[in-house]
Structure 1
């Protein structure tokens, strides 16, 4: 197997070629990625734990964003039996220019999915779990109730497990954000994905300031919930724009920010503008802490769910230290 698992033709093993997953991109010209630098090369997954995790997900008929988004960290994470479960089906109603998740007519909701997720969490013995989803603009609540049912099912089956959710934006779904926040996940994550100037080409179905307001609303519902957001770089953004996004997130009292390198899933997707160096990522990390984030993850291979369990523990410890300092 090749060393670099993030390939242009990335796809789930049980699906047709990538071009068929994205019919809306079929007419796009091919814009192949430049050759990846050494710092982006990872080994193909071969561990016993990786295959055990994959088998469990298949047995329970669960989707994972690890596979659907062709994540470069899948070998490392699944070796540790950390899989990010993707609920609400495997087909998205949006067509973001960067994303490898299939676009088209959404799947019918599986009423047993929340229980299957809870079974997987228990089966893997997870101390911390990340649950994400596709966008479901076709549903009246955008899938909010399904998130709530999944949180409750996990809590009932594994009460000691901390729960992190990575949600869509629930655009034009009144009450959805409040409903999910009221279920009190430990971490409420919603990614801005890129700087506002690039939304029209990178994330055309979304609205930057709506996403910011979502994160702010979570804190209004329950200030104890940790909030988290992330962006990709290498899409054509400028450094000052990234720093402005940091300021916007801090104004919404977001606790944790992630920054990672954009990797083009297929030649039909948004092209890579450049590969950002590890030194630049480290600079962003230091700037983020300087701006007041409790936790910053910034590196070429950083993804929303990468090291989520360890990062959550560090973030919680940072909050406790901050509260103790304020009290003392």
Structure 2
């Protein structure tokens, strides 16, 4: 059996990791006043968060600082990805008050930057794109100084207009995660298609060169360094500005196994390779997630673009 804490474990190993998490992946249980206040606000406004639904390890840190990633369109997903802790099933009706509640939450939390994501809604004609537009419009009206980052599903089998209408609404950052390397899609992300997701990112940049594009990857699922480097190249070919890369953690025994706990030094190496390929911003560490430190990273990325333009 592989030793999880051993940084020399081969990325090619097919033996699932069953040892305890290494020290670099351990976080404190959330106990702060800020955490309790953020949770109370989400409950009052009947808002879901990916922080809770996806069992994010950073929830204690982020919520204590009153940073939360809102998950719109309900808490039930129509997909069943092998890595995701969000429940699968037939979702309920779209909440018509949700856009106003998101804007109210942004104001109550005093957010300079907000991240909005959603479950997959294959049951809706537009995949839920219209709800993203309504949320963006409400935020622009009631929280005009808050920058907006959206993390959308792939809108697979939906009209091209789904992506166009969101870009037209003018988010500051459009994020769509590739999640893993193409070889692992059939087992890790069976309802999605790698090249469809890549084309979505390319489409966003083609529609608006001003919108920053972002995508994320999980490691520790059995991918190889060369496969990751190829994905970096694919992202850059699609014009992606910002790469996030973090350790996959198995939410429950029924989810995909962790093949390797990737040590921090390897993340640093991946970040160096990614920066050499031209990303404006790279966040790579064991605890990195799509929306982790998103506001700070957005400000840095924006400054880099301004500097690059002279």
TM-score normalised by length of structure 1: 0.89
Q: For each residue in 1:250-307, what CA deviation from the matched residue of structure 2 results, as whole angstroms up to 9, or x when unmatched?
A: 0001000000000000011000001001000000111111100000000000000000
1: CA distance, partners of 2:236 / 2:76 = 32
8 Å Cα contact 2:77-2:120 kept in structure 1: yes
Alignment match of 1:173 (pick from 130, 154, 158): 158
Give 3-state SS (helix, strand or coil) of 1:260's partner.
strand
Give the match for residue 219 of structure 1.
205
Gaps of at least 5 residues in structure 1 are 1-30
8 Å Cα contact 2:17-2:260 kept in structure 1 = no
The question of whether the paired residues in 2 share the 8 Å contact of 1:32 and 1:266 is answered with: no
Which is worse superposed, 101-110 or 202-211?
Answer: 101-110
Match of 1:157 in 2: 142
Q: Which runs of 4+ in 1 moved over 6 A?
A: none
Residue 147 of structure 1 corresponds to 132
Matched, 1:83 2:72: no
Instruction: Establish whether residue 306 from structure 1 lines up as the match of residue 304 from structure 2.
Output: no
Of the candidates 32, 48, 55, which is equivalent to residue 63 of structure 1? 48
1:33 and 1:94 map into 2 onto residues whose CA distance is 27
Give matches, 1:222-237, under 5 Å.
222-237=208-223
CA contact (8 A) 2:17 2:259 kept: no
Q: 2:261 aligns with which of 275, 278, 281?
A: 275
Provide the aligned C-alpha RMSD in A. 0.8
Rounded to whole Å, the distance in 2 between the matches of 1:142 and 1:106 is 12
Aligned to 2:90: 105
| Paired residue secondary structure (2:309) | helix
Instruction: Report the counterpart of residue 183 of structure 1 in structure 2.
Output: 169
Unaligned runs of 5+ in 2: 1-15
- 1:210 alignment partner in structure 2: 196
Once the 2 structures are TM-superposed, how far is the Cα of residue 32 of structure 1 from its aligned partner?
Answer: 7.7
The count of corresponding residues between Structure 1 and Structure 2 is: 294
Normalised to the residue count of structure 2, the TM-score between the two structures is 0.94
How far did residue 34 of structure 1 move?
A: 2.8
